[in-house]
Structures are given as C-alpha cells and as structure tokens.
Chain A
Amino acid sequence: GAVVSQHPSRVICKSGTSVKIECRSLDFQATTMFWYRQFPKQSLMLMATSNEGSKATYEQGVEKDKFLINHASLTLSTLTVTSAHPEDSSFYICSAVPGLAGGVSYEQYFGPGTRLTVT
C-alpha cells in the first residue's frame, strides 16, 4: 500500500529557532500534499495545500511567513516553522494525494505525524 513518511517524528527546539519537517511519499508521486495541525484533544485543522511546482495555498489565519511550505518534487514537501514559539507546539500531520496519468485520485494517505515541542 501507499506509504507516506514524516521526519522527524518528534522534535524539541528552543524558542526563536526554525524547524523543518519533511513529508515524503515513498512509493507514489504526489501532485498534492496537505499539512494539518492538531492541538491536544482537538481536531485536525488544515493549514495549507501544497502543489508540486507552485506556491502553497494557505488557509485563512495561517501565517505564510511563519509556516513556509515547499513542494519541490513529486515526492517531497517540507514545512518549516520559522522563529518557533511555545504556542507553535503541536502535532503536525501531512497527507499526500497520488497523481494519476489522465485522471484524479480521491485516495489520500497520511503520514505518521511530527510532534513539535518548543521550549
């Protein structure tokens, strides 16, 4: 089955530093990737939609300059949390949608998530 990996799985960083989270589709090409954020005991909130080769589309209220998304290839999207603060501590989950020649896929595969703690 399709596999999506995230790296790192856990990261602790100091306030003011930047953290990069990688999302990779291991056995398929993903034309679209999504980044979600989940606070403890809360739902998943979409942060942005990432399309290969183009700028990410951010949801309302998500700071573009703080959460930098780069979808440089069909198998890799990165989320960089810049100048992280304790309130950025959260569980970040990516998902990837396979691109199909001549068609679309409504399948979506989630990564295992990255737990970010900012001290």
Chain B
Amino acid sequence: AQKVTQAQTEISVVEKEDVTLDCVYETRDTTYYLFWYKQPPSGELVFLIRRNSFDEQNEISGRYSWNFQKSTSSFNFTITASQVVDSAVYFCALSRGSTLGRLYFGRGTQLTVWP
C-alpha cells in the first residue's frame, strides 16, 4: 500500500525564517514519483516539484529546496527566508510508476508566515 505522512499539521514562523516541511512515504514500488503542491486560501493546487525514484539529487529553485533521501523514505521541503506569501497548505504526494497519475496525498501542513 502507498502512504504519505506529513507529521506537521501546522507550522508558524516569522518572516525571513527558514522552515522545513517533512514528508515520509511508504511504497514497495521501485519506480514511483514524489510531488509537492501548494494550496493557497483560494484552494487551487499549485504544482511545485516532481521527483522520480531514481533521481536522488537535491533540487533548489529560488528560495525552495527539496531533499530526497531514499534511505529514510523522506522528501523534505525547505523554504529559505520565508515570506508572508508563502502562507498556505503544502501537500506531499506520491504516485506509483505503474498507475498513471493517481496521487496519494499526505494530510498537508498548514504554514503560516507572520510579518
């Protein structure tokens, strides 16, 4: 069975602080994909990143960075120098390599950045 765990329900930080959102996944597949999505108050999901199971390189995109570690089945997301506009719910998700598109979502982490 596939499972994604986001243990942090809510995180509050002050602007300019760095924050890491944790994601732990479970799957027996050797081929799978991991995702992060942002959901602002408007509700629309914003795609942030997709990583396949064979690519463990960390990725940086501006203030965002992702740390994928297969040894610990984790795919953590760090926001550097957080801003108020980063306030949203962030979802980690997994899809199996064999099942096109079907996503298994974590419960989400509500991030609030205070000015």
* A75 interface hit (Cβ, 8 Å): no
- Contact stretch, chosen from A12-20, A63-71, A80-88, A103-111: A103-111
The minimal Cβ–Cβ distance linking A107 to chain B, given in whole angstroms, is 8
Chain B residues with CB under 8 A of A105: 100
User: Beyond A43-B105, A43-B106, A43-B107, is A110–B44 a contact (Cβ under 8 Å)?
Assistant: yes
Is the pair A46, B103 in contact by a Cβ cutoff of 8 Å? yes
Closest to A108 in B: B101
Is the pair B43, A106 in contact by a Cβ cutoff of 8 Å? no
The minimal Cβ–Cβ distance linking B3 to chain A, given in whole angstroms, is 12
A-B contact pairs, 11 of them (CB 8 A): A41-B110, A43-B106, A44-B103, A91-B43, A93-B43, A97-B100, A106-B33, A106-B50, A108-B101, A110-B44, A110-B47
